[in-house]
């Protein structure tokens, strides 16, 4: 192998090594891992790829915000990405140029293989760029910073606006996971928050700004977002035992209810009159309220009592809004 070929191989090994160490590596550690002298590593500096840099502490790192990943997809895998992109375009109300660019790149790559899929991918990108989408550079800056912190395992200082008071407080936050939620057209970050030195969830739309710090962290080996959110209806989780929710659906909507599996724990019993009894164990039943409301009079909350009482109160209030006077608590006029 020629000297130039050997150097090119070493540079590829260096890049792979740094990708596996988001915290960065000192020059001496790189030399040890590559089996070369420190002076040899120093000679690589003029030939480093654009995505590798040396930080203020002398640690070599990969800039993950510009690093390009090569992905090869077959037709069916590309269609799966198309479906995910359509959901993203429909459920997110803010412009996301990164998602739009990714879809355009995929669309261009598929032009020869599947021109119709390619065209629709690029149309989905246009939806994300559409002027009707909310232009929110603050949200994008926060999302980018949290993503970089998550990738490099560096804590992020965030300024959170409280929903109830409007007050803004600063926290140190270690992102463990980023999760979209279609119901509220929102994105959430789950991680370790200081204070109170506990696992917490931030709605990213309520973060005023975010700054990357130099402080690193580790995600606990036993952290599993799938387990954490297993009983959640959407994003709310709790350390308490899940609550059993029982709903009775009218026969008019029975077919529609049965077409979809709404929760991993659900059990459905068809009744003699054609109605359905639907049961599931939910971490925070209050999170189901928008979905239950959407069924209108075609659903009745059987239990828990607190959820039933909430829907009953809302129904009475709605009746007053529309000019109906209720004679008693059972809703009979």
Beta strands in the chain (DSSP E): 52-54, 60-62, 154-161, 168-181, 186-194, 198-203, 207-216, 243-249, 267-270, 276-282, 299-303
**What's the pLDDT score for residue 175?**
98
Nearest 5°: phi and psi at 249? -100, 135
The answer, yes or no, to whether residue 295 has pLDDT greater than 70, is yes
**What's the pLDDT score for residue 23?**
86
Distance CA 259, CA 95 (A): 32
Same domain, 205 and 150: yes
Q: Domain containing 183 — which CATH number?
A: 2.30.30
Nearest 5°: phi and psi at 29? -70, -40
Higher per-residue pLDDT: 103 or 143? 143
Question: Based on the structure, what is the number of domains in the chain?
Answer: 4
- In this structure, is residue 232 part of a structural domain? no
- In this structure, is residue 100 part of a structural domain? yes
Same domain, 13 and 51: yes
- In this structure, is residue 305 part of a structural domain? yes
The answer, yes or no, to whether residue 306 has pLDDT greater than 50, is yes
Higher per-residue pLDDT: 277 or 107? 277
Same domain, 262 and 313: yes
**What's the pLDDT score for residue 176?**
98
pLDDT digits (tens, 9 = 90+) for 110-143: 888 888 888 888 888 887 777 556 778 889 999 9
Distance CA 57, CA 24 (A): 10
Same domain, 253 and 313: yes
Q: Tell which of 101, 129, 157 closes a domain.
A: 129
The answer, yes or no, to whether residue 233 has pLDDT greater than 60, is yes
The answer, yes or no, to whether residue 93 has pLDDT greater than 80, is no
**What's the pLDDT score for residue 5?**
61
- Maximum mean pLDDT: which of 64-68, 110-114, 125-129, 192-196: 192-196
Same domain, 125 and 152: no
Distance of CA 222 to the CA centre of its chain: 19
Q: Domain containing 33 — which CATH number?
A: 1.10.10.10
- In this structure, is residue 226 part of a structural domain? no
The answer, yes or no, to whether residue 253 has pLDDT greater than 60, is yes
| Range 99-109 average pLDDT | 86
| Range 242-246 average pLDDT | 97
**What's the pLDDT score for residue 4?**
63
Domain that residue 111 falls in: 75-129
- Maximum mean pLDDT: which of 123-127, 224-228, 322-326: 224-228
Same domain, 194 and 256: no
Across 132-145, b (16+ Cβ under 10 Å) vs e yields ebeeeeebbebbeb
- In this structure, is residue 69 part of a structural domain? no
The answer, yes or no, to whether residue 193 has pLDDT greater than 70, is yes
- In this structure, is residue 299 part of a structural domain? yes
Q: Which residues contact 210 (CB under 8 A, 6 or more apart)?
A: 141, 142, 145, 146, 149, 156, 157, 158, 159
Whether the ω angle into residue 304 lies within 30 degrees of 0, i.e. cis, is yes
| Range 232-258 average pLDDT | 95
Average pLDDT, the chain: 89
Can you give 9-34 as a three-state secondary structure string? HHHHHHHHHHHCCCCCECHHHHHHHH
**What's the pLDDT score for residue 331?**
44
Same domain, 57 and 88: no
pTM of the model: 0.79
- In this structure, is residue 280 part of a structural domain? yes
Higher per-residue pLDDT: 154 or 93? 154
Same domain, 259 and 307: yes
Higher per-residue pLDDT: 77 or 201? 201
Residue 110 · residue 78 · CB < 8 Å: yes
| Range 261-286 average pLDDT | 97
Q: Tell which of 40, 62, 84 closes a domain.
A: 62
| Range 138-163 average pLDDT | 95
Same domain, 144 and 213: yes
Q: Using 50, 70 and 90 to split pLDDT, how confident is the model at 90?
A: confident
Q: Is the dihedral of CA 241, 293, 177, 225 positive or negative?
A: positive
Percentage with pLDDT > 90 across the chain:
53
| Range 79-94 average pLDDT | 78
Paired tokens of 236: 């709310």
Q: What is residue 153's DSSP assignment?
A: T
Whether the ω angle into residue 195 lies within 30 degrees of 0, i.e. cis, is yes
Same domain, 155 and 206: yes
| Range 258-264 average pLDDT | 96
- In this structure, is residue 146 part of a structural domain? yes
**What's the pLDDT score for residue 333?**
40
Overall size of the chain counted in residues:
333
Higher per-residue pLDDT: 183 or 152? 152
Poorest-pLDDT segment among 44-58, 89-103, 142-156, 296-310:
89-103
């Amino acid at each position: 192998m020629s000297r130039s070929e050997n150097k090119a191989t070493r540079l590829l090994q260096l890049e792979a090594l740094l990708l596996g160490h988001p915290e960065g590596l000192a020059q001496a550690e790189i030399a040890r891992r590559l089996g070369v002298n420190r002076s040899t590593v120093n000679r690589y500096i003029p030939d480093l790829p654009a995505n590798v840099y040396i930080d203020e502490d002398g640690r070599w790192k990969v800039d993950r915000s510009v690093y390009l990943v090569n992905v090869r997809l077959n037709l069916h895998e590309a269609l799966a990405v198309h479906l995910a992109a359509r959901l993203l375009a429909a459920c997110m109300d803010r412009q996301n140029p990164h998602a739009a660019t990714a879809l355009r790149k995929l669309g261009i790559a598929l032009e020869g293989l599947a021109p119709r899929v390619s065209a629709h991918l690029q149309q989905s990108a246009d939806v994300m760029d559409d002027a009707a989408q909310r232009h929110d550079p603050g949200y994008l800056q926060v999302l980018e910073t949290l993503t970089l912190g998550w990738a490099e395992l560096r804590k992020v200082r965030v300024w959170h606006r409280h929903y109830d008071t409007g007050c803004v407080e600063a926290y140190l936050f270690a992102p463990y996971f980023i999760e979209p939620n279609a119901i509220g057209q929102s994105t959430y970050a789950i991680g370790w928050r200081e204070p109170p030195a506990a696992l917490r969830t931030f709605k990213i739309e309520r973060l005023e700004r975010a700054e990357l710090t130099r402080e690193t962290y580790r995600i606990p080996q036993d952290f599993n977002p799938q387990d954490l959110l297993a009983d959640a209806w959407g994003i709310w989780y709790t350390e308490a035992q899940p609550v059993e929710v029982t709903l009775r659906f009218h026969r008019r909507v029975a077919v529609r209810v049965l077409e979809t599996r709404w929760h991993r724990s659900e059990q459905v019993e068809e009744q003699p009159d054609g109605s359905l009894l639907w049961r599931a164990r939910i971490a925070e039943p209050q999170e189901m309220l928008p979905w239950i409301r959407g069924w209108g009079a075609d659903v009745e909350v059987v239990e828990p009592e607190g959820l039933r009482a909430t829907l009953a109160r809302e129904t009475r209030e709605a009746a007053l809004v529309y000019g109906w006077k209720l004679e008693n608590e059972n809703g009979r006029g």
